Chains A and B, each alone.
Chain A
Amino acid sequence: MGSQGGFYQSKEFLDLVKSIGEARSKAEEDRIVLSEIETLKRRISEPDTPKRKMKEYIIRLVYVEMLGHDASFGYIHAVKMTHDDTLLVKRTGYLAVTLFLNEDHDLIILIVNTIQKDLKSDNYLVVCVALNAVCKLINEETIPAVLPQIVELLAHPKEAVRKKAIMALHRFYQKSPSSVSHLVSNFRKRLCDNDPGVMGATLCPLFDLITNDVNSYKDLVISFVSILKQVAERRLPKAYDYHQMPAPFIQIKLLKILALLGSGDKQASENMYTVVGDIFRKCDSSSNIGNAVLYECICCVSSIYPNPKLLESAADAISRFLKSDSHNLKYMGIDALGRLIKISPEIAEQHQLAVIDCLEDPDDTLKRKTFELLYKMTKSTNVEVIVDRMIDYMISINDNHYKTEIASRCVELAEQFAPSNQWFIQTMNKVFEHAGDLVNIKVAHNLMRLIAEGFGEDDNTADSQLRSSAVESYLYILGEPKLPSVFLQVICWVLGEYGTADGKYSASYITGKLCDVAEAYSNDETVKAYAVTALMKIYAFEIAAGRMVDMLPECHSLMEEFLASHSTDLQQRAYELQAVIGLDAHAVESIMPSDASCEDIEVDKALSFLNGYIQESIEKGAQPYIPESERSGMLNISNFRNQDHHEASSHGLRFEAYELPKQTVQARIPPASLASTELVPVPEPVYPRESYQTTTVPSVSSDAAELKLRLDGVQKKWGRQTHFPSTSTSNSTSQKTVNGITQVDGSNTANSRTRETYDSRKQVEISPEKQKLAASLFGGPSKTEKKSATGHKSSKPSSHMVKSHAPKSSMEVASEKTSPVQQPPDLLDFGEPTVKSTAPSLDPFKDLEGLLEPTTQVSSAVNHSSTAAVTKSPDIMGLYTETPAGAHHKDSDILSGLSNSPMTNMVGGTTTMQVAQSSKSPNLKDSLEKDALVRQMGVTPSSQNPNLFKDLLG
């Protein structure tokens, strides 16, 4: 046991490792490590410690620090070791400093000199280790100290040195691009290095450089292509083969670079088509690394100027990935799909079943990736299904980071594609309920605004329905035990504004609920404030309607509590409530008009309505008002006022509210009640609004556009205007449509067109088609367009999900003939506007389908055994009318059943690994011995497997 390991460790080190391995608890481990630190501290500072001992101490220090303990007392000794002449000691010193220190550490200055010296060393290993330290320890200020030597080393005879010098230079570029900008040409030069390792290493900095500035490197396209070609043709030394692939890592890097260079550049892309196509063909899709290269090819293809043939190869590769059993490949497949649908949206459809499988996979990583894909392919036709799924998933996870992300995605999608306001409200309710604390407060304001504004049209019944349903849902949700603050604010506001509007609920019922909220969440002042204001509104509406106000006892006690509250805001609200209740119906109606949250307040800046009063007062002998500017000799007063001002802002008590508001302020302030989107956050102490209300009468006639829409320029997210194309990034069908039309007819047509699509979508909601998840995700609506776009093969199995086989393919042929492959949607749009609309019910194919249904069944039954596609179609026809859940499960089973058998041999690298293993002769005795040691040391508790890595190689 004396000296373990090839590297000079002593018994002590072994004992340390052993005792740590045996430690039962973290506390015990800590105790051991701390005593080790004490020992090391003592030993290390002893004079005349032999080098070899010293080196071991340093290694032990590194070990201790890796376990999470502070070893800073030994840093200086590590630095000292770098000065040593012995290579071994020097290397250990460098290793320790690169692990211990960061580039801004004080001790760095002591090392720079050593590094400089070592970079000039004759021994290339010394140079290498110094270069390694350079990467880690040199900061922007010290770069000039070593830069000349690094540049010299670029031409060093040893390739290992050249390689590392390039990486060091790359590191400098990352840290401070300006310091090495004049040396960038060196990277180009090294690309032609005759050592493939150096060439491969050079690709790293070039990739970074090209990412930052594509245009300066367009001339290299030819070189990269020719390198890639040579690599693919196995011109590199055998040593670079990995699992029978020629230099796959270099291929991957090159493909990445080509993807950058070819992006949006037709000419450059054309140079790449051949080689990328070759790689697609040559790639061995049975090994992991082969698939890595394939994946990179797909990324490249989806980034460069599209080429139909390559896109087809990419689609094939993706379908192989998705059908694989390996979760890794599925993951890559989903990711690749997400990239490719940007170019050819129709491809997703072929893989709908696979995608749904991934969505239901227990693997969280895969699931998230799939949600990312769904997010990318959301359009107005499938938004409901996707968002519902996302919300379900959001509820199921605990990871706040991801929860926030997915919540904001839900909100974004809902805002962008919501099919109806009702749905939007329900969706928002769910998001708020489960992730309310994680979403932006603006989302809440948007929701309130939506409820207040309704459809933004004259359709009053729809608006009030919407509000009633919102009220209803909120009253229901209030039964939940713990709700997020933001959501409660929304609820209070809506209940206050519309709780009694439709007469279904009595004022005492609503106020009772509001009091409950205020009591249940008594430590949330914002919620309480919202609740009080809501109470005030309810009472005001009651008074205005001429009914007797009968304050509930709990409301009374609540008010008493608030009147004495520490929060001035709550106090003020409570007093206001008291004051309002005491007024007569007429006054109250002026202060709190019902359902006027969207009305605008016209502020009478001259206070003209007071003229009569002033006149009267002056007649009685009062002093007339002199404007501030005219008051001479009263400087101190104005000073005082300024001071006053200052205090106001610093203390948060805003006196400006009583002055004339500026235009912008005015726009901000919600008229009459808490309506507008940009609700003043409640904690702000003063509510200018109220003070206006007592003096001014809201008037509808004011300049609506200016006031109402701070949202101006912001796109309307809901209602009919929603579906303008400009906002969204997705490839939604309706958008394309609109685009097409707009080009021809101008915006008027676009408007009517959108409306049409909207209406038709409404029909989608009720259609039974919804009932199938796959159908709704990849939905029929866009079908026609897609068909004609792909020239898609009728043998592709999964594409027959939604519709039957026979009628479609015949239609396909027809439409294919009329439309070129690249941009058929527009063409189609001009031709038959009804077809491209999002409604399947308008879809002539569907009608046809209904007629032809029996035939299809027959024909598919005939082909029953031949292909997967056909086997499935009868099922699908049957399922078409079935309930959603059961339906797609069945389908996916069928598919996975089918795909399982031929795919099993795809599991990565099995064959090659066996080869590797057989080439090795595991020494049984050795491994037993090892195992015994392992047990003894208590390092590896599970040891059914003496050759620990055997299973990896088997």
Chain B
Amino acid sequence: MIKAVMVMNTQGKSRLAKFYEYLSVEKQQELIRGFFQVLCSRAENVSNFIDAESIFGLDSRLVYKHFATLYFVFVFDSSENELAVLDLIQVFVETLDKCFQNVCELDIVFNYSKIHTILDEMVFGGQVVETSSSEIMKAVEEISKLEAASNAISLIPKSASGWRSR
């Protein structure tokens, strides 16, 4: 099962953190810091896998992918396949990219709840439920539509600059 999904930037600021087993806020921060330490010490052109046992406890592996200013990190146990998780990250990022068109760190900061929605469509209770990025998109769009409908009073004026309001 997947134990945690994290997104952090190259400075170690956490952009998204989701733990599928409950951990206290302090513990979460400690882990994020620990992982960041390891991640930023990794050279270029090495594998995307890290043995996370010393940080996360027994039977935990970490797969990360570095995109521009962000690290995408998945922590999981031996029931998952490292290469497949690497592609799962790819699916996640592709979906984000479809959703925001040229996604960047800012999109993730400002659309915090939407990112969670996307992730929840993919990983549910620590298990991968959906791996087709178009299916995920469909679900997320439907949610947005219904949300907008249920929210007829339109909470905020639609932004003039088109790219941000998706």
Contact = CB atoms under 8 A, between A and B. Distances in A.
A940 interface: yes
Given A167-B129, A249-B128, A328-B86, A3 B94 contact: no
A368 B51 contact: yes
B147 A365 contact: no
A92 B102 CA distance: 25
Given A3-B157, A330-B47, A945-B68, A87 B54 contact: no
B59 interface: no
B68 A952 contact: yes
B147 A91 contact: yes
Contact of B87 (A288, A929, A941, A953): A288
A132 B120 contact: yes
B120 A295 contact: no
A204 interface: yes
A291 B129 CA distance: 21
Contacts of A930: 102, 104, 106, 163
Interface string B135-165: 1000100111011101100011111110111
A273 interface: no
A399 B131 CA distance: 35
Nearest to A23: B13
Determine which residue in A13, A87, A929 has the highest number of CB atoms from chain B within 10 A of its CB, and name it: A87
A923 B102 CA distance: 9
Nearest to A132: B120
A68 B29 contact: yes
A8 B159 CA distance: 9
Contact of B131 (A51, A70, A249): A249
B67 A201 contact: no
Given A59-B113, A91-B147, A288-B83, A365 B47 contact: yes
Nearest to A131: B124
A353 interface: no
Interface in A924-943: 926-927, 929-930, 933-934, 937, 939-943
Interface stretch (A38-46, A95-103, A381-389, A812-820): A95-103
Contacts of A160: 139
Interface in B56-111: 67-70, 79, 81-84, 86-88, 90-91, 93-94, 96-97, 101-107, 109-111
A574 interface: no
A621 interface: no
A672 to B, nearest CB: 43
B125 A168 contact: yes
Nearest to A18: B109
B105 A934 contact: yes
B72 to A, nearest CB: 10
Contacts of A247: 131
A68 B47 contact: no
A945 B109 CA distance: 18
A200 interface: yes
A56 to B, nearest CB: 9
Interface residues of B, number: 88
Interface in A1-27: 2-10, 13-14, 17, 20
Contacts of B87: 242-243, 248-249, 288-289, 292
Given A204-B127, A292-B83, A332-B83, A926 B54 contact: no
Contact of B125 (A136, A200, A248, A399): A136
A201 B129 contact: yes
Interface string A118-145: 0000010100000010011000000000
A920 interface: yes
B113 A7 contact: yes
Contacts of A86: 150-151
Nearest to A943: B69
A948 B47 contact: no
A379 B151 CA distance: 69
A364 B83 CA distance: 18
B67 A6 contact: no
Interface in A246-275: 247-250, 252, 256
Contacts of B135: 197, 239
B46 A948 contact: no
A435 B116 CA distance: 44
A87 B127 contact: no
A934 to B, nearest CB: 6
B51 A952 contact: no
Interface string B4-32: 00000111011011100010011011000
A208 to B, nearest CB: 8
A365 B51 contact: yes
Given A7-B113, A328-B83, A401 B127 contact: no
A62 B109 CA distance: 12
Interface in A195-232: 197, 200-201, 204, 207, 211
B163 to A, nearest CB: 5
B68 to A, nearest CB: 4
Nearest to A363: B46
Given A164-B124, A296-B81, A332-B83, A926 B102 contact: yes
A380 to B, nearest CB: 28
A2 B147 contact: no
Contacts of B90: 288, 909
B87 to A, nearest CB: 5
Contacts of B111: 5-7
B46 A366 contact: yes
B17 to A, nearest CB: 5
Contacts of A366: 46-47
Interface string A400-414: 111000000000000
Given A916-B94, A949-B102, A8 B45 contact: no
Given A5-B165, A125-B146, A951-B68, A252 B125 contact: no
A289 B91 CA distance: 11
Contacts of A292: 81-84, 86-87
B128 A204 contact: yes
A885 B17 CA distance: 47
Contacts of A55: 155
Contact of A942 (B10, B22, B94, B166): B10
A629 B97 CA distance: 89
Nearest to B163: A926
A66 interface: yes
A111 B81 CA distance: 36
Interface string B23-53: 0011011000000000000010111111101
Contacts of A248: 84, 87, 131
Contacts of A948: 67-70, 102-105
A252 B163 CA distance: 37
Contact of A940 (B47, B69, B82, B117): B69
Nearest to A951: B68
Contacts of B48: 327-328
Interface string A313-351: 000000000000011101110000000000000000000
A70 B165 contact: no
B25 A68 contact: yes
A331 B104 contact: no
A93 to B, nearest CB: 11
B151 A952 contact: no
A289 B86 CA distance: 8
A918 to B, nearest CB: 14
A927 B79 CA distance: 40
24 contacts: A3-B157, A3-B164, A4-B164, A7-B113, A7-B114, A8-B156, A17-B110, A69-B25, A91-B143, A197-B130, A197-B132, A201-B127, A242-B87, A242-B131, A296-B81, A328-B83, A363-B47, A365-B49, A365-B51, A923-B163, A930-B163, A948-B105, A949-B97, A949-B103
Question: Which 3 residue pairs of A and B lie closest in terms of their CB atoms, listed nearest first?
Answer: A5-B110, A292-B83, A102-B22
Given A167-B129, A242-B91, A363-B43, 20 more contacts: A3-B165, A7-B111, A65-B25, A66-B17, A68-B26, A136-B125, A160-B139, A171-B125, A201-B129, A201-B130, A211-B79, A327-B46, A920-B97, A934-B105, A941-B11, A943-B69, A948-B68, A948-B105, A949-B68, A949-B97
